[in-house]
Chain A
Amino acid sequence: MMMDATGSHQAEAPDEATEAARPAKQAPRRPAAPPAPRPLFPFSALVGQEEMLRALLLVAVDPGIGGVLVQGDRGTGKSTAVRALAALLPPMRVVVGCRFGCDPATSGGFCEDCRARRVRTATTVPIPVVDLPLGATEDRVAGALDIERALVDGVRAFEPGLLARAHRGFLYIDEVNLLEDHLVDLLLDVAASGENVVEREGISLRHPARFVLVGSGNPEEGELRPQLLDRFGLSVEVRTPMDLATRIEVVRRRDSFEREPAAFAARWRRPQSRLRAQIGAARKRLPRIVTPDSALEMAARLCMALGTDGLRGELTLIRAARALVAFEGGREVTVAELRAVAIASLCHRLRRNPLDEAGSAARVQRAITEVLGP
């Protein structure tokens, strides 16, 4: 029996068309994301929902903020917005042939394959935005025995799953509150450690899996577990726009996109590239953003006033404010940015009163007024 879990493989896209005619001997596949057949709605063409769009842009600027949860009404474009974000992300550098998309510049945390590599050549790929489809099984999420290689070659090889594909990118879960409990457990575990440990079917392997978790859902279809809630850096609530002009515009753009997706995308090409450039510039500027002590103190006082547990809220608040400064082209974090991101950073971290519905956002708003002034 040959152990092949640590061998180095060239990435190879699965060949759908010739599935039946696949030769018996074949190099193992990297689970490359199958191409999306339909063009995506341009992010810059989304109407309204500024809170949600800003939260998504902030994690695009600084993935370290730690994910976004979007909850709210049906038909508000939650999943459209998240999927549209993919088109705005800058490319990233990866080690050639790495199944897990390791960063060639990382100081540590290479996968086993890359540690064994003597020469690590780098290449550029798009930042992955991986959709976790409903009904996905655990073996495909975490990765498991490559059943094809096992059956065909009698080789015990690891086939990376969605977590490997999402490494250094985004993992999007639509209807996150309908996600099965055992998958939630798995995600919590991996998100906490930044590493996916696979111990199944005689395979023992670990690989880095750091990703930005983006979830969306309708809270009326089920509550989210508090542990999972806490995993999201920012949480925003979306409401159906109720003014006529906005609603007409939403329907008009959606309709013209669905009729002629390519033409629509072409019309929005310039705003899209402007936004992409703005994100790229913000990413470059981010390390140089100054966070004065006064801002740190404000953030601490805000969190103390709200009694948020732990430091995560404070850190997220600061990071989100820095990302906003970078995005808007500023140099220094001020009260204005803290104020702008406070609700999204903190409202899901309050000592939870499950019965308080709109209450948490209102509580944050009150604390903002008290601490930061009206």
Chain B
Amino acid sequence: MTAGGDATRMAAQPADDASLAVALLAVDPVGLGGAVLRAAPCAIRDHWLAAFRGAMPVGTAWRRMPPDTPDSRVLGGLDLGATLAAGRPLAERGILAEADDGIVVLPMAERLACVMAARLAAVLDTQEVVVERDGLARRWPARICIIALDEGIDAEEMPPAQLLDRIAFMIGLDDLPRGAVVISPGPEIIAAARKTLARVVIQPELLHALCATALALGIASPRAVLLALRAMCAAVALAGRTMAREEDAMIAARLVLAPRATRLPEATPEEAPPETDPAEAMESESHPAAEQPRDEDLADIVTAAARAAMPPALLARLAAAQQAATRAGAAGRAGAVRRDGKRGRALGARAGRLHDGARLALIETLRAAAPWQAMRRRRDPRGDRPVLIRAEDIRLRRYEERSGTTAIFAVDASGSTALHRMAEAKGAVEMLLAECYARRDRVALIAFRRDSATVLLPPTQALARARRCLAALPGGGATPLAAALEAASCLAEAERRQGRLPLLILMTDGRANVARDGQTGRVAGEADALAMAPLLRAAGLPILLVDTAPRPQPFTRALADAMGGRHVPLPQADAAAMSAVIGAAARAA
């Protein structure tokens, strides 16, 4: 690395990758889409943000957008104050249009609702805000770069997938050593790189290497490669060159592709694309994709670079993250549904009287008053008020009070159950899933076996996924009943916090033989399960314990009583009978 190699020289350490991301993003903020900073609020995060801000040109727009910002503020709409003052409608830009050619910072991005992420995704795709609101139709340019501050603690808590798909960098600042320093190159270097950027040439074999790496890492979305390509161009420009080199591809693979990996590349990464569909191959116009040995070597080198950049826990985290990303259904995410009557999804407005706690639908009120202005003014010619509003114009906001149900299935997948009636349990759960679909409930699936309980499926409305999870559920091992109860109670509590009504269906033969600390033993296992029971009783959710043992045990009944749930022994039950019983209980709940 020679002239202008500042960026590439700092490539070895994680802190240096964080610095490199600052520099690359400053070179091509719109093309790269932005960065996700995964970290608790901390000094290093502020430090990164300050470094990035310093690297951007002076006067770059910088807007914060908390996750619960309303549409009117995000997208823009009618500027009510100005409209009232002027007596004619005036539009107001939202945060996204204000941040044109600038930065939008999303604090608590892990709480961003799916629908809001979709709005951001549309703006990132089209680089403009299209507003059809409040009687206004506007189109504003919005070439933005998003810095999402992901403060998620669990692996499941992360920003919505459609946003991550469009943002180049994912930087885990928590992994940085204490006192790490983020350095950004001087503004003159950035300015020079921005000028060079348009002239950067990428050789076909480097593009080939990036695509092959993405495939080897199991990255499906072509957008990831496109972003990696942008990162590579920015790296080339930053190094003061116009011709890409191997090291630029390695930077792109490390920063863009590695954090998206869904699998480890093969130990001997034979570049083995699946059978090429002849039709598709013909579609793709004649192109130098001839597999030369050089290409494959390059792909291996780039893949190795990406692999080296993958933190050890990454795969586990990503697997969970993919589940989490799809968990938020149409209803949105944490905090989106509350039921105090003044929150939730607006249902429009209705006429009414202003009273304590009612929320005025200002624009609707204005709309109602508007047609009468000329007439009222003729009757009441005191010209000091711009708008004459009468009591009958008042419109109040209506909010949806939705209390969706989440059916949590905790299924015993231990050896003892597997032996007896795993198939029936699966069958019953499938039938219940179909019922949940009809009611548009959400479902979650916990499986417990060996020494732990796993949330196989976080609450979701995507029932096809539930079915897939269930079909793939392995059986065998001991029965960690206490761990299952603990997992179920955590999940139920989380659902309740989101304004949903949890419902627990526990299917087990009750042969608890693993304690919470992982020790095996019938006595400790049963004692711990009973000890967990009051926690669930206190949670006050409807519980159904389906006893799948061939002969019901006294312990299972005692456990159901301790949880305040119903005990349904189903020694001879088939799937249909189980479904009937559970369906009835769910309706009663």
Contact = CB atoms under 8 A, between A and B. Distances in A.
A151 B284 contact: no
Nearest to B215: A244
A146 B135 contact: yes
Contacts of A202: 371
A132 B133 CA distance: 11
A224 to B, nearest CB: 9
Nearest to A177: B330
Interface string A228-243: 0000000000001111
Nearest to B375: A1
B437 A354 contact: yes
B89 A133 contact: no
Contact of B463 (A31, A218, A223, A242): A223
A341 B250 CA distance: 44
Contacts of B372: 1, 154
Given A223-B437, A243-B274, 8 more contacts: A75-B165, A79-B125, A146-B135, A148-B135, A152-B87, A201-B368, A220-B462, A222-B114
Contacts of B75: 135
B329 A140 contact: no
A159 interface: yes
A307 interface: no
Given A148-B89, A180-B345, A251-B226, A246 B280 contact: yes
A240 B21 CA distance: 28
Given A251-B207, A251-B222, A355-B467, A147 B280 contact: no
Contact of A133 (B122, B135, B212, B371): B122
Interface in B134-177: 134-139, 141, 161-162, 165
Contacts of A76: 222
Contact of B220 (A139, A220, A240): A240
A245 B284 contact: yes
Nearest to A175: B118
Contacts of A355: 430, 433-434, 437, 463-464, 466-467
A24 interface: yes
A354 B464 contact: yes
Nearest to B134: A137
Q: Which size bracket describes the interface of B in this complex?
A: 35 or more
A338 B127 CA distance: 41
Interface in B182-226: 198, 202, 204, 207-208, 210-212, 214-215, 220-226
Given A153-B374, A178-B115, A220-B465, A75 B132 contact: no
A64 to B, nearest CB: 27
Contacts of A50: 279-280, 283
B88 interface: yes
A147 B125 CA distance: 31
A74 B437 CA distance: 24
B376 to A, nearest CB: 9
A128 to B, nearest CB: 13
Contacts of B374: 1, 153-155
B133 A140 contact: yes
B226 A201 contact: no
Interface of A: 1, 14, 16, 19-20, 22, 24, 31, 34, 37-38, 47-48, 50, 73-76, 79, 131-141, 144-148, 150-156, 159, 161-162, 174-175, 177-178, 180, 182, 201-202, 218-223, 240-252, 254-255, 258-259, 353-357
B135 A147 contact: yes
Given A139-B135, A141-B132, A248-B208, A19 B279 contact: no
A357 B284 CA distance: 30
13 contacts: A1-B372, A131-B130, A135-B71, A147-B135, A148-B89, A175-B162, A178-B114, A201-B367, A221-B118, A221-B329, A249-B283, A355-B463, A357-B467
B461 A223 contact: yes
Task: Return the 7 tightest CB-CB contacts between A and B, nearest first.
Answer: A154-B374, A222-B330, A244-B273, A75-B221, A249-B284, A150-B370, A140-B132
A243 B277 contact: yes
Interface string B351-394: 00000000000000011101111110100000000000000000
B468 A246 contact: no
Interface in B74-128: 74-75, 78, 83, 87-91, 114-115, 118-119, 121-122, 125-128
Contact of A247 (B125, B211, B285): B211
Contacts of A141: 132
Nearest to A201: B367
Nearest to A152: B88
A136 B133 contact: yes
B461 A222 contact: yes
B347 interface: yes
